[in-house]
Structure 1
Amino acid sequence: MAQKAHPTALRPQDTFYQGYTHWNEPRFYYILSRIRHFIEACCLGTTHYLRDIQITRHAASIIIIIDFIHLHIRSKRRIKSRRYKENKLKIKKKSWTLVASRLQTAAKLIQVFTGTKKTILKVNRLKMYTRSVPKPVRREIAYYTKSFHNLKYDYARYGIQLMSLILKNKANTACLCRFIEQNVCSRQKRKRHYEFLRYLKQGLHSLQKYKKINGLKIQIKGRFTHKAKGRSRTWKYQIGQMPLSRLNTTITAEYKQTQTGYGSVGLKAWTCKNSPNATTA
């Protein structure tokens, strides 16, 4: 049997390389991938997701423009007094302050790695709250967002925000894969994976009529559930159209591999965006 090609291998894509004097094209893409890895490491354990990154070199300085998605667990209308904030001893582990301190350390590493004299980071944050999700969708997933379910479904509030951004074409496929990866790995108890997949399916189904993309497809395959003899399982879900055989459609794909308590798991996600050259049947 022939080996399947990557969905984006034969499709024309925009190149970011514009002819740098000190970096040839292979070195430029290697530096771009390493810098992206540094920035993604700054978001681990938080509700910040990297949407886009742009690198520009001018003289002896490097300018990095970063687009973040900041998802909030609690509502925007929740106001706390100054006395409550001063007396609170617990430090927020998912706050922007933690990400900003990590970015400051990453800027020094990038400067040494690229060999430049100055590194400039420009950060753009897209803030998202639960109230930004349409009200009918919030009613359908109200069971998961109850206050007494905060520990069991700790991903419910910011997860529906991320899914809403993806279907509105404001977030990329890598953000969705990272959200699924961190929650599949953390659901180690029996039947917790079923609850997360049920929530993922219900959230995408409720947001289907608000989508601004042609289609979305998710595939999870591997040992992520408790089954006898360590058998693997395949979970698929698709919204809209996913014409992988058409070369004139804009499709972004993301492949990831992670580990759970039962074995390895492969994650695949495809997003079909609107294309002016595509012909719909």
Structure 2
Amino acid sequence: MAQKSNPTILRPVNTLYQGCTHWDEPRFYFIISTIQKLIESCCLGTTHYLDKLQINRHLGLIFIEANLLHLHFNSKHRLKSRRYKENQIKSKKQSWTVLACRLQNAVELIQKFTGTKKVTLRINRIKAYTRSVPKPTRRQMAYFTKSFNHIRYDYARYGIQLMYLLIKNKANVTSLTRFLKQNICSRQRRKRHYQFLAYIKQGFQALQEYKEIQGLKIQIKGRFTHKAKGRSKIWKYQMGQMPLSQLNKNIKAKYTQTQTGYGSVGLKIWICH
């Protein structure tokens, strides 16, 4: 019996990395994928997520347009004392200044790597705050955002912002994949993975009435728990419909793999727009 192929392989894909003109030589896919990885690496360690990337080439010029999601840890209307402002570090690790310096160096590397005369990079920042999330949802997720849980649930504030943008069809599947990947890697203590997965499930359930997408499906499989003898676990969550067998549906899929203190973990995410 032949092996069944994944429905997302047969689905026609409109790539966002080719504009009206692109590289004619056979190595254009290698060049484009390298540029994408370079820009994604600039966002590591910050609260900026690469949402959309489009690369156009015309003769000796390259035009790169990227959409970045800027998520905030603290609320915009948070009251700050005078002593807090005096002791505040001017150059934060998650600030836009650090990311802008990285992108400027990335443009120089892209110019040398592709051998073009000029590289133009245009960044569209989409800012999100906790106040933008509906008030009923913030009340349901209030336990995770309390001050005494700031160390345990350090992902609570910007995580609910990302989930809300995803529900409103303003974020891409790549941003959610990076959020899940970096937090699964950082949950090294015992049973911390259960708390993170419970937060994801409760957050999507609280935002279900505001969704503007048809469906969402998340599957996490691997050794992300403390069970011995190499036992793996499968965690699934689905919201809405996910018609993988219908090729006329606009479904975006993302597969990735990460490592935890207990072993390897595979992530699969599908979003039906």
Q: TM-score scaled by structure 2?
A: 0.94
The one-letter code matched in structure 2 to 1:218 is I
Aligned to 1:72: 72
Secondary structure of the residue aligned to 1:228 is coil
CA–CA distance in structure 2, aligned partners of residues 120 and 150 of structure 1: 40
CA–CA distance in structure 2, aligned partners of residues 193 and 123 of structure 1: 34
CA–CA distance in structure 2, aligned partners of residues 257 and 214 of structure 1: 26
Deviation at 1:37, TM superposition (A): 0.3
CA contact (8 A) 1:19 1:25 kept: no
Q: Which moved more, 1:173-182 or 1:77-86?
A: 77-86
The one-letter code matched in structure 1 to 2:151 is L
CA contact (8 A) 1:220 1:235 kept: yes
Tell whether 2:111 aligns with 1:122: no
Q: Once the two structures are superposed, what CA deviation does each residue of 1:166-198 show, in whole Å capped at 9, x if it has no partner?
A: 111111111111100000000000010000000
Q: How does 1:82-161 map to 2 (within 5 A)?
A: 85=85, 87-89=87-89, 91-161=91-161
CA contact (8 A) 1:220 1:266 kept: yes
Aligned to 1:179: 179
RMSD of equivalent CA atoms: 1.9
Deviation at 1:26, TM superposition (A): 4.0
CA–CA distance in structure 1, aligned partners of residues 253 and 203 of structure 2: 21
CA–CA distance in structure 1, aligned partners of residues 62 and 85 of structure 2: 38
Aligned to 2:52: 52
Secondary structure of the residue aligned to 1:52 is strand
Deviation at 1:81, TM superposition (A): 7.4
Q: Once the two structures are superposed, what CA deviation does each residue of 1:203-258 show, in whole Å capped at 9, x if it has no partner?
A: 01111111001100000000001012121000000000001101111111000000
Q: Once the two structures are superposed, what CA deviation does each residue of 1:25-70 show, in whole Å capped at 9, x if it has no partner?
A: 6422222211110010011111111011111223322111110000
CA–CA distance in structure 2, aligned partners of residues 56 and 78 of structure 1: 41
The one-letter code matched in structure 2 to 1:178 is R
Aligned to 2:249: 249
CA contact (8 A) 2:18 2:54 kept: no
Aligned to 1:278: none
- Structure 2 vs 1, CA of residues 157 and 25 (structure 1 numbering), >3 Å: closer, same or farther? farther
- Structure 2 vs 1, CA of residues 82 and 124 (structure 1 numbering), >3 Å: closer, same or farther? farther
Deviation at 1:10, TM superposition (A): 1.7
Q: TM-score scaled by structure 1?
A: 0.91
Identity percentage of aligned residues: 66
Tell whether 2:165 aligns with 1:200: no
Deviation at 1:17, TM superposition (A): 3.8
CA–CA distance in structure 1, aligned partners of residues 217 and 249 of structure 2: 15
CA contact (8 A) 1:7 1:253 kept: no
Tell whether 2:42 aligns with 1:42: yes
Deviation at 1:83, TM superposition (A): 7.8
Deviation at 1:113, TM superposition (A): 1.1
CA–CA distance in structure 2, aligned partners of residues 26 and 79 of structure 1: 56
Number of aligned residue pairs: give it: 272
Q: Unaligned stretches of 5+ in structure 2?
A: none
Aligned to 1:234: 234
Aligned to 1:271: 271
Deviation at 1:2, TM superposition (A): 3.8
CA–CA distance in structure 2, aligned partners of residues 81 and 43 of structure 1: 30
CA–CA distance in structure 2, aligned partners of residues 18 and 101 of structure 1: 26
CA–CA distance in structure 1, aligned partners of residues 185 and 265 of structure 2: 9
CA–CA distance in structure 1, aligned partners of residues 20 and 128 of structure 2: 37
Deviation at 1:124, TM superposition (A): 0.3
Aligned to 2:166: 166
CA contact (8 A) 2:18 2:56 kept: no
CA contact (8 A) 1:255 1:269 kept: yes
Q: Which moved more, 1:26-35 or 1:170-179?
A: 26-35
CA contact (8 A) 1:163 1:203 kept: yes
CA–CA distance in structure 2, aligned partners of residues 108 and 165 of structure 1: 32
CA contact (8 A) 1:17 1:25 kept: no
- Structure 2 vs 1, CA of residues 25 and 233 (structure 1 numbering), >3 Å: closer, same or farther? farther
Secondary structure of the residue aligned to 2:256 is strand
Aligned to 1:217: 217
Aligned to 1:279: none
